[in-house]
Structure 1
Amino acid sequence: MATFSRRNLIKTGAALAPVLLTARPAAAAPPPTGLQTTGTAPAELAGFDEVMKTFVKEREISCAQLAISKRGRLLLARGYYTASQARYVPPVSPTSLFRIASLSKPVTAAAVMRLVQEGRLGLSAPVTTLLGLPAEADPRLAQVTVLRLMQHLGGWDRSVSLDHLWSDHAISAALDVPLPIDHADIIRYATARPLDFAPGTRMAYSNYGYMLLGRIIEKASGTDYESYVKEKVLAPLGITRMRIGRSLRSEAAAGEVAYASQYTAKTVLDDTGTTVPYPYGGFNVPNHDANGGWLASAVDLVRFAGVLDAAGPVLDAASIAKVLAKPEIGVSGDGWWYGCGWYVRQVPGNLNTWHAGGMPGTYTYLARLQNGFTYAALFNRREEQGTPDYDVLSSRMNAALNKVASWPATDLGPRYF
């Protein structure tokens, strides 16, 4: 096709159209690279921000969050995410949702104590009576009470027998039922087997025990576990984002981060035997509801932790005292004990409480320390083969706490709650 200059148009006598001058579009900003942040980190708390930046860089974590409160005021709310030219991770805001794994246990324990406070449940009530479980396989099952479940004294030891919440394929085969299995299948399988030790004689961390507490909450409240927790525990605290997660990437909640793991697994969501990314079908998230199934943001969790600070809309002083009380087996050799949903340690003038959580694609940590200081840190990857130790997080945060010279006077709560 011929092209015509302005001179050619004059020579041929063609009508001149007005010349339109349009600005060239501005060059697009280059995509971000490296570690990015969102939210607010006051200068006084820069040490905590640096701890998180170093931690995620060392472990190549692509999504993380940190929230810090002091005496009920939200002082830091931060999202962290990485981006590269090969693949971009959506920005993580301070209110993005993460699977919180075993940080679900303090939430479940608060719901149980609320039912006790309402007079609808007793701490000494046996699980056999509450859920109608037979004790033929082990008569000691009748000695498993609500309190012993909350304190991991129920008699199940995952280092001796299977962790029933992570044994979907074995349970499906043993019961000759198709995948996915449900709570009733897990309970039927476990009840038909002897306990690993006498209830009340020692502590062994038990996801199964907390799954049973979820079913007890349903029985005592007359509603489903998630609804009761939302209505009686979360709503009175002004927490609206938290919910039970789902298994598949396609089922992710709005604002939920993506999870990373180097491992794959056979899906537990059907009998196809398909290999899937471990965080997306290698386990059934709703089955873990009461022991590890909640989604939350870090700011939600520091607000939830305030349920133990003083008598409030969820728990009264007597209930809080029961949550923090030493169990019948006493204190560990290292000076800590497991109360109701929390690890507890006596320090001068304070009871420090904390909990960690982990599952494929998730590592979480929540701590209430002296002087009203609380923090929650969430990550979309847990420690795996070849990654640096994740347990150093708490010691690094404690070191940063000891260096704080002054605290911000502002409260970020209205911005993020």
Structure 2
Amino acid sequence: MLAALLLAASVVVSPSPALAQGEAERIDAVVQQHMRGPGAVGLSVAVARGETLLYSQGHGFAELEFAANANDETMFRIGSITKQFTAAAILKLAERDKLSIDDPLTKFLPNYPTHGHEITLRHLLTHTAGVPSYTDLGPVWERRMAEALSDAEMLALWQEKPLEFTPGERWKYSNSGYYLLGMVIEKVAGVPYAEFLRDTFFDPLQLTRTRYDSNEELLLNRAQGYAFESERFSNDGLLDMRQPGAAGGLISSAGDLVKWQLALVGGRALSKASYEEMTLPFLLASGKETSYGMGLQLDTQAGKPCVWHGGGINGFNSVLLYFPDEELSIAAISNSERLRADALGLALAEALFATK
């Protein structure tokens, strides 16, 4: 019954004339196949080729309790896709000569313990700083997830722990590193992180469905996230949205994410030189390149070079893929831990590549 309701709740719109009917049918077939799977609730999906938005739709439910349909304006938590907005904010401050990405962290946070090493903003941006990730701390963090922790309380979770390696020697994903970058943005810009992103990117680029999430505010058309265990749905665990910070605190729609990707590539969010900086792999001390730039994964997906990032946060998961050779952008966001946005995004890419 629920599967039938989910399919009935899907929003179907006519694709752009630039998208061949065969491609539209392939996209719908792939999306509906994923919506029929176990644990599906809602999806936001958008596709663009070049500067043309071809497809932007909501499917299923934004909220199960009231059978509220998802549409193309429904806002979903995007988790770690937030990191590319944070990286862009640091690079924007560098463009304005407010900082250098090679500045030491202690220039902005002088009391932060670096355990005898120099940690630069570049290290934090590229996950090569060795800062322990608070999301890897298990019960130390998990039992406090619902608390409204201050910056000082967040830092206390990890800052006294030794670095996991000498900065620049290895790569390891760290949400703590991006939390610190959010603090740097606030220190340099003199305004809250959310306000800086709104004034610098969201409003100028007309990203009307993108903002920092809040537990306190009532936001129209915001999706609820769900867990799915033993064939049953439940509201996912409570997370105070102050905690993800600049590592994962944003909500958005797939349409806005594609619009953001096009603004990055088109030089409207940052200079083209800054975007190129974002998409350069980091060169480790050993001479080996990582497959990560600044808030962006750099590798091969669906057999093609791809710049992308995924996100996962308490009942939500997301992916934003950009295939530069094809100028193809794909965004997908799910409000069920079971329905994988990354698998859907790759399936859509493969379906679109097959039409060429």
Partner of 1:289: 245
Taking the aligned partners of 1:400 and 1:184, their CA distance within structure 2 comes to 47
Deviations 1:196-221 (A, max 9, x none): 11111111111111111111100111
Q: In structure 1, what is the Cα distance between the partners aligned to 2:70 and 2:244?
A: 25
2:26 corresponds to which of 16, 40, 47 = 47
- In the alignment, structure 1 residue 202 sits paired with structure 2 residue 170: yes
Aligned CA distance change for structure 1 residues 260 and 169 (closer, same or farther; 3 Å):
closer
**1:324/1:376 CA distance change after superposition, 3 Å:** same
d(CA) in 2 for partners of 1:311, 1:171: 40
2:331 counterpart residue number? 376
Q: 1:298 aligns with which of 254, 260, 267?
A: 254
Matched residue SS, 1:236 = coil
Q: 1:308-323 counterparts in 2 under 5 A? A: 308-312=264-268, 314-323=269-278
Q: Unpaired runs of 5+ in structure 1?
A: 1-31, 173-177, 264-276, 406-417
Once residues 37 and 341 of structure 2 are traced to their aligned partners in structure 1, the CA distance between those partners, rounded to angstroms, is 10
Change in Cα spacing, 1:109 to 1:165, as seen in structure 2 (3 Å) is farther
Alignment of 1:221-240 (within 5 A): 221-240=189-208
Match of 1:114 in 2: 92
Structure 2 CA distance for aligned equivalents of residues 244 and 165 of structure 1: 25
| Identity fraction in percent | 25
Alpha-carbon distance, 1:330 to partner: 8.7
State whether structure 2 residue 166 is matched by structure 1 residue 153: no
Aligned-pair RMSD on alpha carbons? 3.1
Supply the distance in 1 between the matched residues of 2:139 and 2:89 (Cα, whole angstroms): 24
Aligned residues of 2:209 and 2:252 also touching (Cα < 8 A): yes
Q: Is the contact between residue 171 and residue 185 of structure 1 (CA under 8 Å) also seen in structure 2?
A: no
The answer as to whether partners of 2:76 and 2:335 remain within 8 angstroms in 1 is: yes
Structure-2 separation of matches of 1:206 and 1:99: 19
Is 1:181 aligned to 2:160, yes or no?
A: no
Q: How many residues align?
A: 339
Q: Alpha carbons of 1:402 and 1:126: their partners in 2 closer, same or farther (altered >3 Å)?
A: same
SS of the residue 2:68 aligns to? coil
Q: Distance in 1 between matches of 2:44 and 2:71?
A: 8
Does residue 395 (structure 1) correspond to residue 346 (structure 2)? The answer is yes
Does residue 1:81 correspond to 2:81, yes or no?
no
Distance 1:297 1:246, change over 3 A: same
State whether residues 135 and 175 of structure 2, in contact with CA within 8 Å, keep that contact through their aligned partners in structure 1: no
Report the Cα offset of residue 74 of structure 1.
Answer: 1.0
Contact map agreement 2:10 2:59 (CA 8 A) in 1: yes
Superposed displacement of residue 346, structure 1: 7.1
Q: TM-score, normalization: structure 2?
A: 0.85
Question: What is the CA–CA distance in structure 2 between the aligned matches of 1:364 and 1:304, rounded to whole Å?
Answer: 15
By how many angstroms is 1:67 displaced?
Answer: 0.6
Q: Given the superposition, is the C-alpha separation of residues 144 and 80 from structure 1 closer, same or farther in structure 2, using an over 3 Å criterion?
A: same
Write out per-residue CA displacement over residues 229-251 of structure 1, whole angstroms, 9 at most, x where no aligned residue: 11112222121221111237xx4
Deviates more, 1:127-136 or 1:295-304: 127-136
Conservation of the 8 A alpha-carbon contact between 1:245 and 1:253: no
Taking a change above 3 Å as real, the CA distance of residues 34 and 186 of structure 1, as seen in their structure-2 partners, is closer
Aligned counterpart, 2:101: 123
Alignment correspondent of 1:270:
none
Q: Distance in 2 between matches of 1:64 and 1:57?
A: 12
Establish whether residue 192 from structure 1 lines up as the match of residue 160 from structure 2. Answer: yes
**1:212 paired residue number:** 180
Cα distance, 1:150–1:289 mapped onto 2, change above 3 Å:
same
Verify: 1:345 aligned to 2:311, yes or no.
Answer: no
Q: Secondary structure at the match of 1:116?
A: helix
**Does residue 23 of structure 2 align to residue 68 of structure 1?**
no
Quickly say closer, same or farther: Cα 1:305–1:103, change in 2 above 3 A: same
Larger Rg: 1
1:253 to 176, 198, 219: 219
| AA at the equivalent of 1:139 | G
The amino acid of 1:122's aligned partner reads: S
Cα shift at 1:81: 0.6
* Contact 1:41–1:78, Cα closer than 8 Å, also in 2: no
Moved beyond 6 Å, runs of 4+: 330-333
Structure 2 letter corresponding to 1:38: V
1:316–1:166: structure 2 CA closer, same or farther, 3 Å change rule? farther
